[in-house]
Structure formats: structure tokens, C-alpha cells
């Protein structure tokens, strides 16, 4: 398979040198990561997505193997592994697709966890993908047709709405449609929009080389992302309570909060080297 994928990749690049290729190898980390040996640009990262992936287990399960610290370790290990097979590898983070249950169900429709999961996904390095409907917390599990329900644009205006696929069971969405979420500053949709904006404003998020920054509290973690002579620090509070994180400026040159993601209206604060983070917050220092 890797040999065939190399042939395919080489041929496509011979036709258009800057074409971008992403492959789906639905398997465990040790298996799919080896396909980077083919020279392909990207592979969908199944190890961090889905109901059993690293993001979901980190938010839903207890213990040191599911701690924030272990999440940062996994981020750094994944990038190191991909680059060892292909120095030009571009990770392809995703959380769900048309073959998996929708993410809202992974977290029993807890809006804060759904938001944080997307914040974690959209601050990963690489070329990130969002399956339609996930940005509003749509419902869908069981048979494939349920996972491919029409986009939930509106409750009041049905004009232009797509018909459901044949054999789809009735889906009861737990969250408002697009037109209502757009008006709610704390909605899942507006959270995802802010995450994408942060990603666009900070190229280090997608392109940066990772360095783990050890923290004392295992419910928090931090990574340095360096790209094109510029660095940012991404700090995660993956707990349900406010946390204070200290990162020495003498070790990492930063002076301000560059941006943040909060699941509610609470804001982080930086006082010297002490960062106060609301529950389930992600903060960028620069």
C-alpha cells in the first residue's frame, strides 16, 4: 500500500508540483503514521479524533494517561513521528467525518466540552478539517444516514434546506440551528469561528514545530510552537476549575496574551509570569 501511495503521490506531483494530497488510512497510530514514508502531504489523524481518540479520552476519562500532560506529550510525539517518516509531513487533524458518530454525543451534549474539544482540535499543527454540522453540535449516530443528516440551518426558514438521505432516522438536535447560534456570542458556532480566526491570525498554530513545556499541575499543559523565527506558547486548562499557571519569561520570551478561547464570557489574565485561566480555557502567549 505504501509503495502504491508513493507511486500515486509522485505522479500527481509530476503533473502539478504544488498539489496537496491527503489520504485516509483508518487505523491505529503506529500503522497510519508509516504511510508518510510514501511522501504524501497529509494523513487524517485518527488517533486524536473520533469517540476513542486522544481528545475525547482526555476530556472524558481520569488518570495520568488521560491527563492534560499526557495530551501535550501525545501532540509532541505525533509530530516527531510524522516528521521522522517525512520531513515535509503535514498532519491532518479532524474530529469526525461522515463515517463516525457526531462529536456532541461523545460528551453527552455538554456544550463546554464540545467547545473545548474543537479548541483542542483547531490548535493542533497541520491542516485541520471540520465536518459540516460539527460547528453547531449536530446530532447523529448509529446508521450512516444519521451521520449525514442535512445541515441544520434554521427552524423557521426551511427554504433551501437539503432533504435527508433515504433511511435516515429522525434526529433530535440538542442545540440551536445556524441562524440562532450566529446571534449567540457563547454558542458552539461562534466558539469554532473564534478558533478558526485564531488559527488564521497565528501561523505558528498550524505550522509550528512543537516543544513540550512541563507544568506542575497535570490538569494543565503548555507547548511552544515555533515557525519562521516566531514562537507562541499555547496553554491548556483542561479542568472544570480555574487554574493558575506560571511560565518563566527568562525561559520563554513572551510579554502578553496574544489570544484565547473561553467556553463562556470569562477572560484569562496575565500578571507578570502568572496566568490565571478560566475552566476549559486555551490561551496563546507571545
Confidence tier at 157 by pLDDT (50, 70, 90):
confident
Cα-based torsion angle of the residue sequence 100, 205, 283, 281 in order, rounded to the nearest 10 degrees: 0
pLDDT at 156: 85
Full-model pTM: 0.95
- The whole-number average pLDDT for the span 238-248 is 96
Which residue, 92, 94, 75, 97, is CA-closest to 127? 92
pLDDT at 158: 79
pLDDT at 161: 85
Confidence tier at 15 by pLDDT (50, 70, 90):
very high
pLDDT, one tens digit per residue, over 16-71 is 999 999 999 999 999 999 999 999 999 999 999 999 999 999 999 999 999 999 99
- The whole-number average pLDDT for the span 254-271 is 96
Examine the pLDDT at 236 and tell me if it is beyond 90: yes
Average pLDDT over the chain reads: 96
- The whole-number average pLDDT for the span 131-159 is 94
- In eight-state DSSP terms, residue 92 is B
Distance CA 109, CA 216 (A): 31
pLDDT at 159: 81
Burial of 14 (0-12, 13-18, 19+ CB in 10 A): exposed
Burial of 8 (0-12, 13-18, 19+ CB in 10 A): middle
- The whole-number average pLDDT for the span 102-107 is 96
What is the pairing mode between strands 22-23 and 42-43? parallel
Confidence tier at 160 by pLDDT (50, 70, 90):
confident
pLDDT, one tens digit per residue, over 169-192 is 999 999 999 999 999 999 999 999
Long-range pairs for 55-64: beta carbons < 8 A, 24 or more residues apart:
55/95, 55/117, 55/120, 55/121, 56/103, 56/106, 56/107, 56/117, 58/120, 58/238, 59/107, 59/113, 59/116, 59/117, 59/238, 60/106, 60/107, 60/113, 64/218
Amino acid at each position: 500500500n505504501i509503495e502504491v501511495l508513493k507511486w500515486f503521490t509522485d505522479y500527481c506531483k509530476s503533473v502539478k508540483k504544488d498539489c496537496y494530497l491527503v489520504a485516509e488510512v483508518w487505523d491505529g497510530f503506529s500503522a497510519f503514521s508509516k504511510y508518510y514514508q510514501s511522501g504524501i502531504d497529509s494523513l487524517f489523524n485518527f488517533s486524536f479524533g473520533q469517540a476513542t481518540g486522544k481528545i475525547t479520552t482526555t476530556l472524558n476519562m481520569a488518570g495520568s494517561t488521560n491527563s492534560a500532560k499526557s495530551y501535550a506529550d501525545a501532540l509532541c510525539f505525533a509530530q516527531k513521528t510524522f516528521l521522522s517518516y517525512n520531513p515535509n509531513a503535514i498532519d491532518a487533524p479532524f474530529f469526525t467525518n461522515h463515517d463516525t458518530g457526531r462529536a456532541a454525543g461523545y460528551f453527552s451534549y455538554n456544550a463546554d466540552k464540545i467547545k473545548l474539544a474543537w479548541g483542542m482540535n483547531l490548535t493542533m499543527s497541520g491542516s485541520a478539517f471540520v465536518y459540516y454540522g460539527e460547528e453547531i453540535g449536530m446530532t447523529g449516530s448509529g446508521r450512516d444516514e444519521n451521520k449525514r443528516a442535512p445541515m441544520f440551518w434554521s427552524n423557521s426558514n426551511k427554504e433551501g434546506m437539503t432533504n435527508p438521505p433515504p433511511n435516515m432516522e429522525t434526529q433530535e438536535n440538542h442545540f440551536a440551528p445556524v441562524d440562532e447560534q450566529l446571534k449567540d456570542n457563547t454558542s458552539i458556532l461562534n466558539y469554532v469561528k473564534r478558533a478558526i480566526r485564531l488559527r488564521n491570525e497565528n501561523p505558528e498554530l498550524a505550522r509550528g514545530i512543537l516543544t513540550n513545556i512541563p507544568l506542575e499541575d497535570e490538569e494543565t499543559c503548555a507547548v511552544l510552537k515555533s515557525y519562521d523565527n516566531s514562537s507562541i506558547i499555547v496553554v491548556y486548562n483542561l479542568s472544570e476549575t480555574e487554574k493558575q499557571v506560571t511560565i518563566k519569561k527568562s525561559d520563554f520570551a513572551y510579554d502578553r496574551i496574544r489570544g484565547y478561547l473561553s467556553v463562556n464570557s470569562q477572560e484569562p489574565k496575565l500578571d507578570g509570569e502568572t496566568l490565571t485561566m478560566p475552566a476549559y480555557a486555551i490561551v496563546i502567549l507571545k
